[in-house]
Amino acid sequence: MNNTKKIIKLYLRLAIAVGFFSAVLDMFGFWPPEISARGN
């Protein structure tokens, strides 16, 4: 049971990190304008 909680925590931390990293990439213009939230 304890091992399952560690895996869930790791997955959630990675998911949040990927979300923030995606936002940073969007801010620097990495994503194409069609899917960009900032409108570059």
The tens digit of pLDDT for each residue in 1-40 reads 689 999 999 999 999 999 999 999 998 888 888 888 875 5
Could you tell me if 38 and 27 are in contact, meaning their C-beta atoms sit under 8 angstroms apart?
Answer: yes
Give the model's pLDDT for residue 39: 59
pTM recorded for the entire structure:
0.71
| Domain region containing 39 | 1-40
Beta-carbon contacts of residue 38 (< 8 Å; ≥ 6 apart): 26, 27
pLDDT for position 16: 98
Give the total number of structural domains in the chain: 1
Q: What is the pLDDT of residue 14?
A: 98
Token output for 7: 């895996």
